[in-house]
Amino acid sequence: MKRRKILIDTDTGSDDALSIAMALREPLFDVVAITTVAGNVPLETATENALMTIDYAERDKPPVYMGCSKPLFRELLTADSVHGKDGMGDLGIFTKSKRKPETEHAVDAIIRYADMGDVEFHTIGPLTNIAVAIMQNPEAMRKIPKITMMGGAIFRGNTGHLAEFNFWQDAEAADIVFNFGIPITTITIEACATPDTRILEEDMLMLKNTGSRLAAFCVDCNSTMAENVFRNSGERYFVTADPTATAVMARPDLIKKSVTSYTRFDIDGEYTYGMTVNDLRKTDSIYISKDTVLKPHNCTIVYEVDGAGFKEYLFSLII
């Protein structure tokens, strides 16, 4: 079977690292490049974490390219409280990579890979790099066959009522990308944060006891997230946001509930900035007002997955 060429765009925090490791271990994927963007952590830290994850996944590629160091119009607001200042739990136990990023800017690399016409994109961070590439070379970017994203919300956000962190971090960029016309499948925060997709304390112990260096890495780097949950709820687990999107990209049979939508983002609201605005109405619907103009749907939203199937798939890749 021909392997699918994948470019991963990431703001490498702890769940991104797990997602990258999964993609690198997935036999169906040929990860041709990783591009980094500021989000969970500053750009340099995201890049270091991506390089380190390749080491722990025991792969000798792909190349890593550094991208945008801040959102298009706002200052960067990192997620230290979730992932730690280093994005990997602030444990200080991981071996830094000796690898170096490429000298080519991530936006230029994205345009070059997009122009090939057979590279799928997998975004697990803010969409700043992708938006800049669209503005610089829309002709090349229109050749991307599909983007699978982790981001957005349909019922409840994690950074606001209907705002999810990846898209909230740079809502202007998200709006540019969704309005551009590339086929998009986005896996919302609701799909990633259900009880049956959580990595529970017993799962963590099981993974650590396998003796797999990669499994231990994936558990340890998410320890800050698990401890935050424990302090707030008395339970110890971590949420697998980006890994759920990676699983859906490889295994669409894991999707339980999805819907098509015309999706845009609030970029003006004082209290609603970054909110995912999903118009689920069909263009052939009948309305009282003859002036109603409905936009064609621009994405597929996945909002529920098979949690047990997801975890089984995840464990099979990292143990």
Q: Express each pLDDT in 175-218 by its tens digit.
A: 999 999 999 999 999 999 899 999 999 999 999 999 999 999 99
Sign of CA dihedral 77, 83, 84, 88: negative
Strand partners, 66: 36
Residue 302 · residue 257 · CB < 8 Å: yes
By annotation, the residues acting in catalysis are 11
- pTM, whole model, 2 decimals? 0.95
The stretch 113-123 carries a mean pLDDT of 98
Assess whether pLDDT exceeds 90 at residue 97. Answer: yes
Tokens of 161: 């009522």
Q: What percent of the chain has pLDDT over 90?
A: 86
Assess whether pLDDT exceeds 80 at residue 269. Answer: yes
**pLDDT (tens digit per residue) in 142-173:** 999 999 999 999 999 999 888 999 999 999 99
Domains in the chain, number: 1
DSSP secondary structure of 195-230: GGGSEEHHHHHHHHHTT-HHHHHHHHTTHHHHHHHH
pLDDT band at 80 (very low <50, low <70, confident <90, very high): confident
Domain containing 48: what range? 4-318
For position 313, which CATH number holds? 3.90.245.10
Phi-psi region of 200 (alpha: psi -120 to 50; beta: other; left: phi over 0): beta
pLDDT band at 224 (very low <50, low <70, confident <90, very high): confident
